[in-house]
Amino acid sequence: MKDEKFYVKIFFIGLFLVIIQSFFQDLESLKLIMSSFYKYIQPFIYGLVIAVILEPLITFFSNKFKFGRRLGIVTSLLVFSFILIGVFLIVIPPLSKSIGDLIESFPQMKTKSQTWVIKVFEANKDRLAFLDEKTLKENLMSFIGSQVANTQSLVISFFEKIVKLTFSIVDVFFGFLIAVYFLLYKKYFIGFIRKTLSIILKKEAVNETLDFLYESREIFLNYLAGRSLVSLFVGVVCFIIMFFTNVPYAVLISFVIGLGNMIPYIGSIIAGIISTVLVLFTLPLKVIPMWIAILVAQQIDSWILGPKILGNSVGMNPFWVVTAVLIGGNVGGPIGMLIGVPVFAMIKIIYYKILDKKGIS
């Protein structure tokens, strides 16, 4: 008689093959199902992430001040909440003002740009005599108008997503509640995971899986904490340089650059393009000090902060980092882009463990 675990494995393999078949047969339906499923489990994901972030803080209070676990959880939640509130109170008011000013200035950007085109044509009439001046001028002005409108839509859409992400209050609230349960009943949940894995795997494989989960948690925490700290420094350095060089929307651009820096390589490029377009349509000459600010901040990140804070927290080739960001973005949007790298780092751990088992160097 076959072992029960054999049939359980067959079931999961069959389920996996059905999902893969569905993926190739009807991609849109699968995406709809996955997005609906993600919506339902989102509070649990928030809760798990909050619990993982708070656990080191609870350990700190328990070791340093000899707090019991319950008191450590309450203290950690209060500290975490105060930090979040403090960040919002410091960042949101100037950021909201910058966004408001920017949105109000879009009509002026269009007018300024079109006036500049007219002046250029007037100054170069003789050189442009062989061209149909009227048609070319109209096309250029139409192009500028459409680009300003596109930039406005891009900025509004970008910050709408941030606001939705930040102020999904219900999900975050339930995430906090679920995190409290995860933290209070940590031993129970670890035991539950161990028993569930024991249904499918052998004892040795169960222990290896739990070790892998612990290692994954360390990677996730180190990467997230390091990347957040580096991005904060990058944003602050950009703001200081742009503030003293009178670059317009210094707070907004610094926020965009810092936020973009959370996503390796691609995030910084996108943030740089958005910032350049904003400054070019407002005060074109100020784009030079803005580029200098970004360059200085990125050099500090690459040569000083990155190696010291992040070190080799994921140890991945740049190609795989970019691949992780792209795939993560397609699957989970901005959050997927952020966690794509640590997820790929976890896959890398599995890959090397399999190689070690097979005796492959």
Q: Which value, in Å, is the radius of gyration of the alpha carbons in the chain?
A: 26
**pLDDT at residue number 292:** 92
The C-alpha atoms of residue 346 and residue 344 are separated, in whole angstroms, by 5
**Ordered DSSP codes for 215-266:** HHHHHHHHHHHHHHHHHHHHHHHHHHHHHHTT-TTHHHHHHHHHHHHTSTTH
Q: Are residues 255 and 235 in contact, defined by beta-carbon separation less than 8 angstroms?
A: yes
* pLDDT digit string, tens, across residues 28-39: 666 666 666 767
Taking CA atoms, 258 is separated from 261, 324, 345, in Å, by 5, 20, 23
- Residue 1: band (very low, low, confident or very high) from pLDDT cuts 50, 70, 90: very low
Given a contact cutoff of 8 angstroms between Cβ atoms, the answer to whether 267 and 260 are in contact is: yes
DSSP string, 267-297: HHHHHHHHHHHHHHHH-GGGHHHHHHHHHHH
Band of residue 162 on the pLDDT scale cut at 50, 70, 90: low
Distance CA 23, CA 18 (A): 8
Q: Could you report the per-residue pLDDT of 86-109, keeping only the tens digit for each? A: 877 877 777 777 777 766 766 666
> What is the torsional sign of CA 236, 238, 244, 249?
negative
Structure tokens at 179: 């995190």
Using CA atoms of 82, 86, 92, 93 in order, give the dihedral in degrees to the nearest 10.
130
The answer to whether the CB of 51 falls within 8 A of the CB of 59 is: no
Question: In this predicted structure, what is the pLDDT of residue 240?
Answer: 92
The structure's pTM equals 0.66
Range with lowest mean pLDDT among 158-162, 200-204, 235-239, 304-308: 158-162
**Closest C-alpha to 106, from 153, 40, 158, 170:** 153
Show me where the domains of the chain are located.
Answer: 43-200
The three-point CA angle 101-102-107 to 5° equals 105
Count CA within 13 A, CB hemisphere, residue 125: 4
Separation CA 105–CA 108 (nearest Å): 5
pLDDT digits (tens, 9 = 90+) for 180-224: 999 999 889 888 888 888 887 788 888 888 888 888 888 888 888
Evaluated on CA atoms 58, 60, 63, 64, the torsion sign reads: negative
